[in-house]
Amino acid sequence: MGYGTALIDSGEIELYRFGRSQQVFRGPRPSLKSPYIAFIGGSEPFGKFVASPFPKLVQKKIKTSCANWGTPGAGPGFFLKDPVILEACSNAEICVVQAMNAEPLSNRMYSVFPRRNQRIRGVSDALKSLYPKTDFSRFKYVSAMLKHLRQEDARAFQIVHSEMTAAWMARMLELLADIETTKILLWLDVKGVPSVITEDLVDSLAPHVDQVLKIQIDEEMQGGILGGASRESFWMTRPVHELVANRLTPSIKSLMTGKSDLVA
Protein backbone atom coordinates (compact mmCIF):
# COMPACT_ATOMS: atom_id res chain seq x y z
CA MET A 1 0.00 0.00 0.00
CA GLY A 2 1.23 3.50 -0.79
CA TYR A 3 1.69 6.04 1.96
CA GLY A 4 2.24 9.31 0.13
CA THR A 5 6.02 9.06 -0.16
CA ALA A 6 6.45 12.74 -1.04
CA LEU A 7 5.10 13.73 2.36
CA ILE A 8 7.02 10.99 4.15
CA ASP A 9 10.29 12.01 2.53
CA SER A 10 9.78 15.61 3.59
CA GLY A 11 9.31 14.53 7.19
CA GLU A 12 5.66 15.54 7.40
CA ILE A 13 4.25 12.08 8.13
CA GLU A 14 5.06 9.93 11.15
CA LEU A 15 4.24 6.23 10.91
CA TYR A 16 3.92 3.56 13.58
CA ARG A 17 2.91 -0.10 13.83
CA PHE A 18 -0.09 -1.36 15.75
CA GLY A 19 -2.48 -4.30 15.89
CA ARG A 20 -2.08 -8.04 15.67
CA SER A 21 -0.40 -7.80 12.28
CA GLN A 22 1.68 -4.74 13.24
CA GLN A 23 0.16 -2.87 10.32
CA VAL A 24 1.58 0.56 9.52
CA PHE A 25 -0.66 3.47 10.50
CA ARG A 26 -0.33 7.21 10.36
CA GLY A 27 1.08 8.82 13.49
CA PRO A 28 1.71 10.23 15.86
CA ARG A 29 0.86 7.15 17.94
CA PRO A 30 -2.22 8.04 20.01
CA SER A 31 -2.54 7.51 23.74
CA LEU A 32 -5.12 4.82 24.44
CA LYS A 33 -5.02 5.34 28.21
CA SER A 34 -7.15 8.49 28.21
CA PRO A 35 -10.50 8.99 26.40
CA TYR A 36 -10.09 9.00 22.63
CA ILE A 37 -12.02 8.94 19.36
CA ALA A 38 -11.23 6.15 16.87
CA PHE A 39 -11.33 6.45 13.08
CA ILE A 40 -11.24 3.46 10.73
CA GLY A 41 -11.48 3.43 6.97
CA GLY A 42 -9.42 3.45 3.81
CA SER A 43 -7.16 5.98 2.12
CA GLU A 44 -9.49 8.84 3.01
CA PRO A 45 -8.87 9.11 6.79
CA PHE A 46 -5.21 8.13 6.28
CA GLY A 47 -4.74 11.28 4.20
CA LYS A 48 -2.06 10.21 1.75
CA PHE A 49 -1.46 13.60 0.19
CA VAL A 50 -2.12 16.09 2.98
CA ALA A 51 -0.23 17.14 6.09
CA SER A 52 -3.37 17.16 8.25
CA PRO A 53 -6.02 14.51 7.48
CA PHE A 54 -9.49 15.00 8.90
CA PRO A 55 -8.95 12.91 12.09
CA LYS A 56 -6.08 15.26 13.01
CA LEU A 57 -8.22 18.30 12.23
CA VAL A 58 -11.03 16.95 14.40
CA GLN A 59 -8.55 16.39 17.24
CA LYS A 60 -7.54 20.04 17.11
CA LYS A 61 -11.17 21.13 17.22
CA ILE A 62 -12.38 18.96 20.10
CA LYS A 63 -9.10 18.80 22.06
CA THR A 64 -9.46 15.03 22.45
CA SER A 65 -7.02 12.38 21.24
CA CYS A 66 -8.02 10.87 17.88
CA ALA A 67 -6.65 7.49 16.78
CA ASN A 68 -6.40 7.36 12.99
CA TRP A 69 -6.45 3.74 11.82
CA GLY A 70 -7.28 4.57 8.23
CA THR A 71 -5.41 2.23 5.89
CA PRO A 72 -4.84 2.87 2.17
CA GLY A 73 -6.84 0.43 0.06
CA ALA A 74 -8.60 -1.21 3.01
CA GLY A 75 -12.07 -2.69 2.91
CA PRO A 76 -14.12 -3.74 5.94
CA GLY A 77 -12.53 -7.20 5.84
CA PHE A 78 -9.16 -5.69 6.77
CA PHE A 79 -10.36 -4.61 10.21
CA LEU A 80 -12.30 -7.82 10.83
CA LYS A 81 -8.97 -9.67 10.61
CA ASP A 82 -7.42 -7.69 13.46
CA PRO A 83 -8.98 -8.24 16.92
CA VAL A 84 -6.49 -5.84 18.51
CA ILE A 85 -7.78 -2.93 16.44
CA LEU A 86 -11.39 -3.99 16.99
CA GLU A 87 -10.84 -4.00 20.76
CA ALA A 88 -9.21 -0.57 20.58
CA CYS A 89 -12.17 0.73 18.57
CA SER A 90 -14.59 -0.67 21.17
CA ASN A 91 -12.64 1.04 23.95
CA ALA A 92 -12.96 4.43 22.26
CA GLU A 93 -15.58 6.94 23.36
CA ILE A 94 -16.77 7.10 19.74
CA CYS A 95 -15.69 5.20 16.65
CA VAL A 96 -16.06 6.85 13.24
CA VAL A 97 -16.47 4.05 10.69
CA GLN A 98 -16.09 4.95 7.05
CA ALA A 99 -18.43 3.26 4.60
CA MET A 100 -15.45 1.78 2.80
CA ASN A 101 -15.41 0.68 -0.80
CA ALA A 102 -16.69 -2.76 -1.76
CA GLU A 103 -13.97 -3.49 -4.33
CA PRO A 104 -11.15 -4.49 -1.91
CA LEU A 105 -13.24 -7.20 -0.26
CA SER A 106 -13.26 -10.95 -0.81
CA ASN A 107 -16.50 -12.36 -2.20
CA ARG A 108 -17.68 -15.38 -4.18
CA MET A 109 -16.13 -13.98 -7.37
CA TYR A 110 -12.62 -13.17 -6.16
CA SER A 111 -10.52 -13.00 -3.02
CA VAL A 112 -8.03 -10.39 -1.80
CA PHE A 113 -5.06 -10.57 0.53
CA PRO A 114 -5.89 -9.91 4.22
CA ARG A 115 -3.45 -7.03 4.66
CA ARG A 116 -3.28 -5.74 1.09
CA ASN A 117 -6.90 -5.65 0.12
CA GLN A 118 -6.29 -4.11 -3.30
CA ARG A 119 -4.24 -7.09 -4.44
CA ILE A 120 -6.00 -10.10 -5.97
CA ARG A 121 -5.39 -13.39 -4.18
CA GLY A 122 -7.47 -15.53 -6.53
CA VAL A 123 -10.55 -15.66 -8.77
CA SER A 124 -13.32 -18.22 -8.62
CA ASP A 125 -14.49 -20.63 -11.30
CA ALA A 126 -17.77 -18.73 -11.30
CA LEU A 127 -16.04 -15.53 -12.38
CA LYS A 128 -14.01 -17.38 -14.99
CA SER A 129 -17.19 -18.88 -16.43
CA LEU A 130 -18.76 -15.42 -16.68
CA TYR A 131 -15.72 -14.16 -18.60
CA PRO A 132 -14.31 -17.18 -20.48
CA LYS A 133 -12.18 -15.03 -22.81
CA THR A 134 -10.46 -13.10 -20.02
CA ASP A 135 -6.92 -13.93 -18.96
CA PHE A 136 -7.14 -13.21 -15.23
CA SER A 137 -3.42 -13.82 -14.71
CA ARG A 138 -2.75 -10.37 -16.16
CA PHE A 139 -4.38 -8.62 -13.21
CA LYS A 140 -2.69 -7.95 -9.87
CA TYR A 141 -5.05 -5.30 -8.54
CA VAL A 142 -8.80 -5.49 -8.04
CA SER A 143 -9.55 -2.04 -9.46
CA ALA A 144 -7.87 -2.80 -12.80
CA MET A 145 -9.64 -6.15 -13.10
CA LEU A 146 -13.07 -4.72 -12.33
CA LYS A 147 -12.59 -1.86 -14.76
CA HIS A 148 -11.78 -4.37 -17.50
CA LEU A 149 -14.72 -6.65 -16.64
CA ARG A 150 -17.17 -3.75 -16.59
CA GLN A 151 -16.08 -2.68 -20.06
CA GLU A 152 -15.93 -6.18 -21.51
CA ASP A 153 -19.44 -7.32 -20.58
CA ALA A 154 -21.76 -4.96 -18.70
CA ARG A 155 -24.48 -7.60 -18.31
CA ALA A 156 -22.13 -10.17 -16.77
CA PHE A 157 -20.73 -7.46 -14.54
CA GLN A 158 -24.14 -7.02 -12.92
CA ILE A 159 -23.67 -10.47 -11.37
CA VAL A 160 -20.24 -9.45 -10.10
CA HIS A 161 -21.74 -6.23 -8.78
CA SER A 162 -24.43 -8.14 -6.87
CA GLU A 163 -21.82 -10.39 -5.25
CA MET A 164 -19.72 -7.39 -4.24
CA THR A 165 -22.75 -5.66 -2.73
CA ALA A 166 -23.84 -8.73 -0.77
CA ALA A 167 -20.33 -9.29 0.62
CA TRP A 168 -19.98 -5.62 1.57
CA MET A 169 -23.27 -5.58 3.45
CA ALA A 170 -22.45 -8.76 5.35
CA ARG A 171 -18.96 -7.57 6.34
CA MET A 172 -20.10 -4.08 7.31
CA LEU A 173 -22.82 -5.54 9.53
CA GLU A 174 -20.27 -7.83 11.14
CA LEU A 175 -17.81 -4.98 11.63
CA LEU A 176 -20.39 -2.68 13.20
CA ALA A 177 -21.54 -5.46 15.53
CA ASP A 178 -17.97 -6.13 16.65
CA ILE A 179 -17.33 -2.48 17.57
CA GLU A 180 -19.03 -2.14 20.93
CA THR A 181 -19.19 1.61 21.44
CA THR A 182 -20.94 4.67 20.06
CA LYS A 183 -20.55 4.67 16.29
CA ILE A 184 -20.79 7.21 13.49
CA LEU A 185 -21.06 5.81 9.96
CA LEU A 186 -19.29 8.20 7.57
CA TRP A 187 -20.15 8.08 3.88
CA LEU A 188 -18.25 10.24 1.42
CA ASP A 189 -20.34 10.56 -1.73
CA VAL A 190 -17.82 11.59 -4.36
CA LYS A 191 -19.31 12.98 -7.52
CA GLY A 192 -17.68 11.65 -10.66
CA VAL A 193 -16.20 8.60 -8.97
CA PRO A 194 -18.05 5.32 -9.70
CA SER A 195 -18.78 3.31 -6.59
CA VAL A 196 -20.70 0.18 -5.64
CA ILE A 197 -21.80 1.92 -2.43
CA THR A 198 -25.12 3.73 -2.80
CA GLU A 199 -27.19 5.84 -0.45
CA ASP A 200 -29.70 3.00 -0.08
CA LEU A 201 -26.95 0.66 1.11
CA VAL A 202 -25.72 3.23 3.61
CA ASP A 203 -29.26 3.87 4.86
CA SER A 204 -29.75 0.16 5.45
CA LEU A 205 -26.92 0.29 8.01
CA ALA A 206 -28.46 3.19 9.93
CA PRO A 207 -30.17 0.98 12.56
CA HIS A 208 -26.76 -0.44 13.50
CA VAL A 209 -25.03 2.86 14.31
CA ASP A 210 -25.78 5.88 16.46
CA GLN A 211 -25.51 8.37 13.63
CA VAL A 212 -25.04 8.38 9.85
CA LEU A 213 -23.15 11.30 8.35
CA LYS A 214 -23.33 11.71 4.57
CA ILE A 215 -20.97 14.20 2.98
CA GLN A 216 -21.15 15.04 -0.70
CA ILE A 217 -17.83 15.84 -2.34
CA ASP A 218 -18.53 18.00 -5.39
CA GLU A 219 -16.19 17.93 -8.35
CA GLU A 220 -15.05 21.53 -7.86
CA MET A 221 -13.56 20.52 -4.48
CA GLN A 222 -11.50 17.71 -5.95
CA GLY A 223 -8.67 19.94 -7.11
CA GLY A 224 -8.84 18.96 -10.77
CA ILE A 225 -6.42 16.07 -10.16
CA LEU A 226 -8.81 13.14 -10.16
CA GLY A 227 -7.74 11.89 -13.58
CA GLY A 228 -8.03 8.13 -13.97
CA ALA A 229 -6.88 7.24 -10.45
CA SER A 230 -10.14 7.57 -8.52
CA ARG A 231 -9.43 4.55 -6.34
CA GLU A 232 -6.24 6.14 -5.05
CA SER A 233 -8.20 8.99 -3.44
CA PHE A 234 -6.39 11.82 -5.22
CA TRP A 235 -9.67 13.67 -4.79
CA MET A 236 -9.08 13.92 -1.02
CA THR A 237 -7.60 17.40 -1.18
CA ARG A 238 -6.97 19.70 1.79
CA PRO A 239 -10.33 21.50 1.32
CA VAL A 240 -12.10 18.12 1.34
CA HIS A 241 -10.40 17.09 4.59
CA GLU A 242 -11.40 20.44 6.10
CA LEU A 243 -14.99 19.94 4.97
CA VAL A 244 -15.15 16.46 6.49
CA ALA A 245 -13.65 17.69 9.77
CA ASN A 246 -16.08 20.61 9.94
CA ARG A 247 -19.04 18.27 9.40
CA LEU A 248 -17.77 15.58 11.76
CA THR A 249 -16.97 17.85 14.70
CA PRO A 250 -20.55 18.81 15.65
CA SER A 251 -21.69 15.20 15.15
CA ILE A 252 -19.02 13.95 17.55
CA LYS A 253 -19.77 16.71 20.06
CA SER A 254 -23.48 15.93 19.95
CA LEU A 255 -22.78 12.31 20.88
CA MET A 256 -20.45 13.40 23.63
CA THR A 257 -23.10 15.46 25.39
CA GLY A 258 -22.71 15.09 29.13
CA LYS A 259 -19.01 14.34 28.77
CA SER A 260 -17.77 17.88 29.29
CA ASP A 261 -14.32 16.66 30.22
CA LEU A 262 -13.89 15.41 26.65
CA VAL A 263 -15.19 18.40 24.72
CA ALA A 264 -13.39 21.72 24.45
The pLDDT, as a whole number, for residue 192 is 78
Confidence of residue 149 (pLDDT cuts 50, 70, 90): very high
- How does pLDDT run across 16-41, given as a tens digit for each residue? 999 888 888 998 899 898 899 999 99
Lowest mean pLDDT among 11-15, 38-42, 211-215: 11-15
Position 199 in a domain: yes
Position 262 in a domain: no
Position 79 in a domain: yes
Output the average pLDDT for the chain. 88
Q: What is the mean pLDDT of residues 56-73?
A: 94
> Cα–Cα distance between 172 and 167 in angstroms, integer?
8
The pLDDT, as a whole number, for residue 259 is 53
The pLDDT, as a whole number, for residue 7 is 53
Domain count of the fold of the chain: 1
Position 141 in a domain: yes
The pLDDT, as a whole number, for residue 191 is 83
pLDDT: which is higher, 117 or 221: 117
- How does pLDDT run across 165-197, given as a tens digit for each residue? 999 999 999 999 999 999 999 999 988 777 889
Position 35 in a domain: yes
Task: Give the CATH number for residue 75.
Answer: 3.40.50.1110
Position 264 in a domain: no
Confidence of residue 140 (pLDDT cuts 50, 70, 90): very high
> Cα–Cα distance between 260 and 255 in angstroms, integer?
11
- How does pLDDT run across 199-210, given as a tens digit for each residue? 999 999 999 999
Q: How many CB atoms lie within 10 A of CB 225?
A: 10
Position 71 in a domain: yes
Flag whether pLDDT at 1 surpasses 50.
Answer: no
Position 263 in a domain: no
Domain that holds residue 130: 5-255
Confidence of residue 222 (pLDDT cuts 50, 70, 90): low
